[in-house]
Amino acid sequence: MYAIVDIETTGGHANANGITEVAICLHDGNKVTQRYSTLVNPQRDIPVYIRALTGITNEMVQTAPPFEDVAADIYHLLHGKIFVAHNVNFDFSFIRHHLQVAGYDLQCNKLCTVRLGRKIMPGLPSYSLGKLCHYLGIENDSRHRAAGDAEATATLFSLLLQNDSENHITQALKQRSREQVLPPNLPKQDIDNLPYAPGVYYFHDEKGKVIYVGKARNVKKRVASHFSGNNAGYQRQEFLRNIHHISFQDCGTELVAFVLEAIEIKRLWPKYNRSLKRYEHAYGIYAFEDQRGYMRLAVDKRRKMAAPLYTCNSLLDGRNILTRLIDDFELCPKLCFIQTNHEPCTGAGGHVCACEGIENPDSYNQKVQWAIDKLRDTLPTFAIRDEGRRNDEHSCILIEKGQFYGMGYISHYFDADSLDQLKNHLTPYPGNDYIRNMVSNYAMKYPERMMVFA
């Protein structure tokens, strides 16, 4: 038995909105055998635009039962049936959420008439319920009312059953198919094409624009996890409705996938990505010349228009680095903003001190330059050579003087005799501190995969 369901609601996500109307048509595979319909008091105001769309007003539901009063009837109608709806995940998320609140746990298979329509009747200009009904000659005098839409969906479902010459409905109901959990507008072929390998995947909207970028050690498994569960939140429901296509890039290793994801999020700025959009180290070590002509080193928050000599996660990290440079090169702690009191300079060590104007700028600036050179010399140049996408290649990621240069794929037999030779085989990419630290941490964990350049 199939239960064709349609609901009207006060909004687009279940955990913050109520149901105003429920209609269920029980279908035995040939015809509708039972009908159920009721208005529901959502116990909250129905927004004006919803009233205009559905025609259901606050006055109409004032004397209607709340959902908890009809939950038992609805549960028993749906229990043991195949839940069918047009964009099934929307209706199912509402019904299941509100049944759970009332103490009922609905577990059943689902079928989406949007997805089935695309498979059984391919090539139509639109698969919205209204346009499908118009194209197929299905009458619906109560559009955007639960009873009218449920009846129209039941008629549509009967046509789909009659025209399903390739058994798409049977295939969708197979336990291992999991097609019913996919977004309504996403072709299953896109899922079938995904690799069981490391990579980066892209969710596209109806116009082809990338709306989400993700990375995974196993792309197919990770993408499938996006569609598991029945989260009733607004963001998830909107996210699923907007997924029309998936593309991907093989990456060879999880590290390459992590790096490429960070690059692509910065490049594409996808709507539904939250992490990595704002990630930057909070502090940097800067050099500047003061009014007296003395070069000064300082730890400060990262600034968009100034390039730091070195970046660090915290103010403490930066101050520790500066303290070591002060000791190694006899710099002035006051000119480096490490000592901020009015006491005598603690870093003079018996030498003349620049903060009192005793040491001239040229002499002091030379020591600062030596410190800067030492800081830069400590920034390593190395490459990570790892598995490739195929057996005859390796992936390669290059860090040059502590900064991410780029990455690519090189032949299994390629020997990099020089840095310039290797760079000719790699694609430069814009880097950031997140990528640099991620690659550096990987190098520390797997030193045998490093190629170090002097």
Three-state secondary-structure class, residue 5: strand
Distances (CA, A) of 226 to 229, 250, 365, 438: 8, 19, 56, 25
The residue count of the chain comes to 454
CB 413 within 8 A of CB 433: no
CA distance 21 to 8: 5
Name 395's bridge partners.
386, 409
Known active-site residue 76? no
DSSP secondary structure letter of residue 385: E
CA distance 168 to 148: 26
DSSP 6-51: EEEESSS-GGG--EEEEEEEEE-SSSEEEEEEEE-B-SSPPPHHHH
Distances (CA, A) of 320 to 198, 288, 344, 354: 38, 19, 21, 21
CA distance 339 to 358: 18
CB 63 within 8 A of CB 39: no
Sheet strands (E) in 302-402: 310-312, 382-387, 393-400
* Distance spanning both ends of the chain, measured CA to CA: 72
Catalytic residue among 86, 97, 98, 144: 144
Which single residue is written with the structure tokens 């390739």? 166
CB 68 within 8 A of CB 102: yes
| Catalytic positions | 144
